């Protein structure tokens, strides 16, 4: 959605705590996953990606390579890089 705001990597990186909010990036989009963290089937491991890119972690945990996972993620989109 081109109407969503554009964020810098630096701005995303500031959102790496539950207090500030947990943001991640994936394929050029920015997601605020704060509300999802407690629901994550893989538990606190999700916090390793806080403030940065999901790609390196999802390359290691291929369980995310499914449409239903991308559907969940898309619900948390707040902007683009
Ligand atoms: C499992 C979503 C980030 C590690 C899952 C599953 C979902 C999910 C839906 C269950 C998939 C299934 O069984 O069909 C997400 C989302 C993420 C995210 C939306 C980011 C916004 C991460 C990160 C890591 C991670 C960054 C590791 C650093 C895992 C692991 C499992 C898992 C280890 C398997 C848990 C198990 O079955 O015991 N994730 N995940 N996830 N996730 Fe994530």
Domain ranges for the chain: 9-80
Specify the residue with its C-alpha closest to ligand 1, atom 33: 42
CA 2 / ligand 1 centre spacing (Å): 28
ipTM comes to 0.96
Fold topology of 9-80: Flavocytochrome B2; Chain A, domain 1 (3.10.120)
Rounded CA separation 62/47 (Å): 17
The verdict on pTM exceeding 0.90 is yes
Q: Are 31 and 78 in contact (CB under 8 A)?
A: yes
pLDDT in tens, 54-64: 999 999 999 99
Please determine, for residue 29, whether its predicted confidence score (pLDDT) is greater than 80.
yes
Q: Is 22 exposed, middle or buried (0-12, 13-18, 19+ CB in 10 A)?
A: buried
Please determine, for residue 3, whether its predicted confidence score (pLDDT) is greater than 90.
no
């Amino acid at each position: 959605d081109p109407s969503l705001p554009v964020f810098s990597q630096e701005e995303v990186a500031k959102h790496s705590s539950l207090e500030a909010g947990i943001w991640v990036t994936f394929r050029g989009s920015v997601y605020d996953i704060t509300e999802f963290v407690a629901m994550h089937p893989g538990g606190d491991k999700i916090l390793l990606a806080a403030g940065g890119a999901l790609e390196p972690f999802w390359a290691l945990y291929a369980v995310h390579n499914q449409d239903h996972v991308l559907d969940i993620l898309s619900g948390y989109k707040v902007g683009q890089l």
